[in-house]
Amino acid sequence: MTSEPHHPATTASATRVEGLSRAVLRLRLKPVAPHRGHVDGAWWPSSRELPAELPGLLDAVADRLGSVDRVVYASTFWGSAPNRLELGGRVVALEGLAALDTDTVHITGGDQRRIDLLVIPPEASGAAADRAMAGAASPDNDHLPAAILATAGIRATSRNRYRNR
């Protein structure tokens, strides 16, 4: 019998986040079109506290995905997070992977449609974050996450699966 890692915020059902205050959502998505490139837009969270940051993001992408079932994130980028969140009576599975590109988050809807977002570090300057968000949301962007950040003047976090060689 195997056991999952213990997360203090995890309960037997799911962690509820309705009561959390939500910061202004900083998100830019590519126009709806056939998928091109490595990311579908960019998200600039205010902190590295995933449970606090997700409610607004998931509400915003629900227009494209319908109900969100799963979020896959780089565990090396974010602080501790539960395995599941309850958002508006719906449970969303959270999966932190150490091997995932630290500059991305993958959000999957109930019909298996997926949005891949560039995650801009919370500590980035406003001007640099704006440049990265504009680049990632450009319809013809096909650059790797680390390249988008570098072009915007943001140093990519320490671990990138897609780093150019």
Residues 106-130 have pLDDT tens digits of 999 988 899 999 999 999 999 999 9
Contact 32, 64 (CB under 8 A): yes
Q: pLDDT (tens digit, 9 = 90+) per residue, 48-100? A: 999 999 999 999 999 899 889 999 999 999 978 999 999 888 899 999 999 88
| CA distance linking residue 13 with residue 36, whole number of Å | 37
The strand pairing partners of 117, in sequence order, are: 105
Residues with Cβ within 8 Å of 12's Cβ and at least 6 positions away in sequence, in order, are none
pLDDT for 23:
57
Whole-structure pTM value = 0.80
Burial of 53 (0-12, 13-18, 19+ CB in 10 A): buried
| CA distance linking residue 163 with residue 112, whole number of Å | 27
| CA distance linking residue 61 with residue 158, whole number of Å | 27
Contact 17, 91 (CB under 8 A): no
* Coil, helix or strand at residue 131: helix
| CA distance linking residue 157 with residue 159, whole number of Å | 6
